[in-house]
């Protein structure tokens, strides 16, 4: 990215995250890191559903270990790598399971039926199964978006971003910068890769 400004990088990373909510991109599935009750790190992929004003949102099953970990320790990290562009994005922030029923319903109504099914299982995510075929997917009644029926296991998670860390490996020398939230603005600095 020769000649690009810090402001240009910030606009680009926000654009790439926003695009990830509209179409499948390398930033659509972010790797989310949490810490469990014993202090062990846990990482898994989450689909970014919304990006707005320094916040990222994704959905989860409220029975999942991820939801429990977020409830007990709000500080999280996310990362993604675009191999075609040779760009790594790391994000640090504070996660919150959103309790706003209108917002949950809005997200629910925009999900596809097969995603609705994921929240209607009688088995919690991470529960042991005798065989993979024992996953209860058959016989679940579909609910159309807009039906107003919210499954009790559906959760919406908002991450308020505290820091973006951008690493561009496509140029030499490699370029890295950080954007740290300072109340309603962002402090931008170049850092050694």
Instruction: Please check whether residue 181 is in contact with residue 118, taking contact to mean a CB–CB distance below 8 angstroms.
Output: no
pLDDT in tens, 145-157: 444 444 789 999 9
Mean pLDDT value across residues 119-142? 71
Instruction: Give me the pLDDT at residue 87, please.
Output: 97
Dihedral angle over CA of 61, 63, 69, 74, nearest 10 = 50
Instruction: Please check whether residue 26 is in contact with residue 80, taking contact to mean a CB–CB distance below 8 angstroms.
Output: yes
Owner of token pair 């951008």: 166
Owner of token pair 């860390």: 165
Cα atoms found within 13 Å of the Cα of residue 161, Cβ hemisphere only: 27
Q: Which residue has the higher pLDDT, 142 or 187?
A: 187
Mean pLDDT is lowest, of 129-133, 155-159, 172-176, 183-187, for 129-133
Model pTM score: 0.89
Owner of token pair 């029975």: 63
Mean pLDDT is lowest, of 54-58, 127-131, 182-186, for 127-131
* Cis peptide upstream of residue 173 (ω within 30 degrees of 0): yes
| C-alpha dihedral sign at 145, 148, 153, 156 | positive
| 3-class SS of residue 95 | strand
Mean pLDDT value across residues 12-19? 96
Confidence bin at 46 (pLDDT 50/70/90): very high
Cα 115 to Cα 98: distance, rounded to the nearest angstrom? 19
pLDDT in tens, 29-42: 999 999 999 999 99
Q: Does CATH place domain 6-122+152-191 in 2.30.110.10?
A: yes
Cα 119 to Cα 156: distance, rounded to the nearest angstrom? 12
Tokens of 154: 């559906």
Instruction: Give me the pLDDT at residue 168, please.
Output: 97
């Amino acid at each position: 990215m020769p000649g690009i400004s810090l402001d240009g990088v910030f606009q680009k990373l926000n654009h790439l995250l926003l695009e990830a909510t509209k179409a499948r991109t390398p930033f659509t599935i972010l790797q989310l890191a949490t810490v469990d009750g014993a202090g062990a790190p846990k990482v898994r992929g989450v689909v970014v559903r919304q990006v707005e004003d320094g916040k990222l949102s994704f959905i989860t099953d409220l029975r999942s270990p991820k939801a429990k970990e977020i409830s007990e320790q709000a500080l999280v990290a996310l990362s993604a790598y675009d191999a075609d562009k040779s760009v790594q994005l790391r994000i640090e922030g504070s996660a919150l399971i959103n309790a706003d029923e209108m917002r949950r319903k809005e997200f629910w109504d925009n999900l596809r039926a097969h995603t609705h099914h994921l929240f209607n299982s009688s088995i919690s995510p991470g529960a042991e199964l005798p065989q993979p075929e024992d996953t209860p997917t058959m016989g679940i009644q579909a609910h159309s978006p807009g039906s107003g029926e919210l499954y009790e296991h559906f959760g919406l998670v908002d991450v308020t971003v505290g820091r973006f860390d951008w690493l561009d490996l496509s140029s030499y020398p490699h370029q890295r910068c950080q954007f740290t939230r300072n109340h309603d603005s962002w402090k931008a600095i170049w850092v050694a890769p």
